[in-house]
Chains A and B, each alone.
Chain A
Amino acid sequence: MIVRRSPRRPHLLWLLVPFVLYLGVLPLVNRVRPVVFGVPFLFFWLLVATLLTPLCVWLAHRGDRRIEGGRPGSRS
């Protein structure tokens, strides 16, 4: 049996970014001020994190698509 190593996927590190945004920086963002567009800061930050999460997962997926695209005959 030929065992080839799985492709390297360093782009999966993007998936850790939501953890940093929501949990890692919590001590820094747990505050009411500055108020952004009337929204207290913690809420504003978590809203930004919620909007950035799809972007992070998309970046991970973009890397995977390149791997998939590099293999002949695999479009799914």
Chain B
Amino acid sequence: MSDGAVATTIFAVFMAGAVALGLAAVRGRGKQGGLAEWSVGGRSLGAVFIWVLMAGEGYTSFSYLGAAGWGYNYGAPVLYVVAYMSCGYAVGYVVGPMLWAYARRHGLVSISDMVAHRYGRPWLGAGVALLVTVFLLPYIQLQITGMGVVVSTISYGAISLNWAYFIGFAVTTGFVVVSGLRGSAWVSVLKDVLVIGTLAFLVVYVPLHYFDGYGDFLDRVVREKSDWLTLPGSGGSRYGEAWFATTSLLNALTVVIFPTTVAGYLGARSADGLRRNAIWLPAYNVLLFVPMLLGMAALFVVPGLVGAESNLALFKLVVDSLPAWGVGVIGVAAALSSIVPMAVFMLVIGTMWGSSVLSLLPRWRGPRRQKLASQAVVVVAGALALVLTYAAPNTLVRLSLISYEGMAQLVPMLLIGLVWRKLTLAGAVSGLVVGVGIVCALVFSDHDPVFGVNAGIVALAVNLAVALGVSYAGPAGRRDERPDAEVLARDPLGAEGEDGADGADGEGERGVRAAAGP
């Protein structure tokens, strides 16, 4: 068999296996459960599943392609990914259990739901769902294109780019529509085994194959490429210390409300499970050093890659140095790194539409219909991203530039709103509008970083100032008669057993746990 046939066969077997595994996850759970079972795994996933799922979401196709490409082009700045993920997990230690408890108490399944509940305005939930959809679609496309590039490379060109895009969409939709978050968690297990295995292998193999071991490799890097080893990195990059610190800070705050992270939180069985998880998740970040290191190794082996080609820095090494079956396995690991996050992105969009947008229409309000509508939205969202990938790839690429910094603007409305009653609807909305406006203005006029600082953090500061200012000085709006305990979120650790109402709540929780089995 030719190299292409070997690698393609391995790839095909694993893709079929991934779909089967995803579907097997909900065997016997078939029709029961409704939206919460599908969207957040019935809030019953154990610590191990939550760990692999959340690690899986963090380790996307960017880690293989973009991280290696940045490592190749600039060097050190790419380590901001490690910095923000670690800091983000520390923030998540507090925020995760808080959101978990809030959602569980009020039966919510997404951040748009939470916002609607907090401010008592269903239309606000719908608005947030629309905004988040705009920010997430580019991520789906990034995963589709990332997977396409990987698949066509590792199949030695046997699978064309266009087919590879379609395969990515088809495999993901194939399981997520039926099995939701639980299926994604199961596929994540397969993915993690392959990712950890292949990266551990590569980090040992590449320096031995191309250099005289680590000593020699590092020595040459220090001697010949020292530009790459500090901020701002090589090639007149704009990514200095101030950019590194502000971007990591902004992303660490954003990652905890990122809808896919929140889906992981809500899927957990217990608050303490999330806290334990926050201890072990940062350990996964050690793996992020590997593609960056390999990207720098590629500087010596395949010099002169420019533009989008540099994203393939890692795969050029792989194809160059390994037999076809090895290339196939590493390709599968990278493909699954696109598929798992893509599945959760699509799931989250579907969930938000089902729970916050379509639920505004009376005839879509029943639990069965809500789930059905959500599943339909998943297919539509995925198909839309796929069609845009073929028809107008640059639209979404441009949008993706504002995705993370735009999502960050939801932090005051959601996080501050959930702990501080005085933040008014008018304040939260005006802050969000101003913040998103500033992000768009700065990013699209090519002013990111602005004065060496992440543009999103500038927008967030203004957003916060406007939100506070309007809350104090602006219109009070309709009076919300609900008690604080109904509107605000509290850390379950501080809140449990405080008063009579909570006692009753604890009963309910135990009841759910008993029903779910040990």
Contact, CB under 8 Å: B215 / A61: no
Which residues of chain B in 265-285 are interfacial with respect to chain A, using CB atoms and an 8 Å cutoff? 270-272, 275-276, 278-280, 282-283, 285
User: How far, in angstroms, from A35 to B221 measured CA to CA in the complex?
Assistant: 11
Encode contact with A along B248-272: 1 for CB under 8 Å, 0 otherwise.
Answer: 1100100000000000000000111
Q: Which residues of B contact A18 (CB under 8 A)?
A: 86-87, 90, 282
Contact, CB under 8 Å: B497 / A71: yes
Q: How far is the CB of A6 from chain B (nearest CB, A)?
A: 3
User: How far, in angstroms, from A18 to B215 measured CA to CA in the complex?
Assistant: 29
Contact, CB under 8 Å: A26 / B282: no
User: How far, in angstroms, from A51 to B282 measured CA to CA in the complex?
Assistant: 8
Contact of B279 among A35, A38, A57, A67 (CB under 8 A): A57
Given contacts A15-B93, A22-B248, A23-B249, contact A31 B230 (CB under 8 A): yes
Instruction: Give the number of residues in B that approach A within 8 Å (Cβ atoms).
Output: 51
Encode contact with B along A10-33: 1 for CB under 8 Å, 0 otherwise.
Answer: 001001111100110011001110
User: How far, in angstroms, from A64 to B280 measured CA to CA in the complex?
Assistant: 16
Contact, CB under 8 Å: B79 / A6: no
Contact, CB under 8 Å: B494 / A6: yes
Contact, CB under 8 Å: A57 / B282: yes
Q: Which residues of A contact B493 (CB under 8 A)?
A: 6-7, 9, 64, 67-68
User: How far, in angstroms, from A67 to B87 measured CA to CA in the complex?
Assistant: 24
Q: Residue of A at shortest CB range from B282?
A: A53
Q: Residue of B at shortest CB range from A40?
A: B229
User: How far, in angstroms, from A7 to B83 measured CA to CA in the complex?
Assistant: 30
Q: How far is the CB of B179 from chain A (nearest CB, A)?
A: 27
The majority secondary structure among interface residues of chain B is helix
Contact, CB under 8 Å: B82 / A46: yes
Contact, CB under 8 Å: A30 / B231: yes
User: How far, in angstroms, from A74 to B271 measured CA to CA in the complex?
Assistant: 13
User: How far, in angstroms, from A67 to B495 measured CA to CA in the complex?
Assistant: 12
Q: Which residues of B contact A39 (CB under 8 A)?
A: 218
**12 new A-B pairs (CB below 8 Å) besides A7-B494, A16-B90, A38-B219?**
A1-B501, A6-B494, A18-B86, A18-B90, A22-B82, A42-B230, A42-B231, A46-B83, A47-B286, A47-B289, A56-B90, A57-B282
Which A positions have Cβ atoms within 8 angstroms of B?
1-4, 6-7, 9, 12, 15-19, 22-23, 26-27, 30-32, 35, 38-40, 42-43, 46-47, 49-51, 53-54, 56-58, 60-61, 64, 67-68, 71, 74, 76
Which B positions have Cβ atoms within 8 angstroms of A?
76, 79, 82-83, 86-87, 89-91, 93-94, 214-215, 218-219, 221-222, 226, 229-231, 241, 244-245, 248-249, 252, 270-272, 275-276, 278-280, 282-283, 285-286, 289, 490-491, 493-501
The 7 A-B pairs with the shortest beta carbon distances in the complex, nearest first, are A6-B494, A53-B282, A22-B83, A38-B218, A40-B229, A23-B245, A15-B90
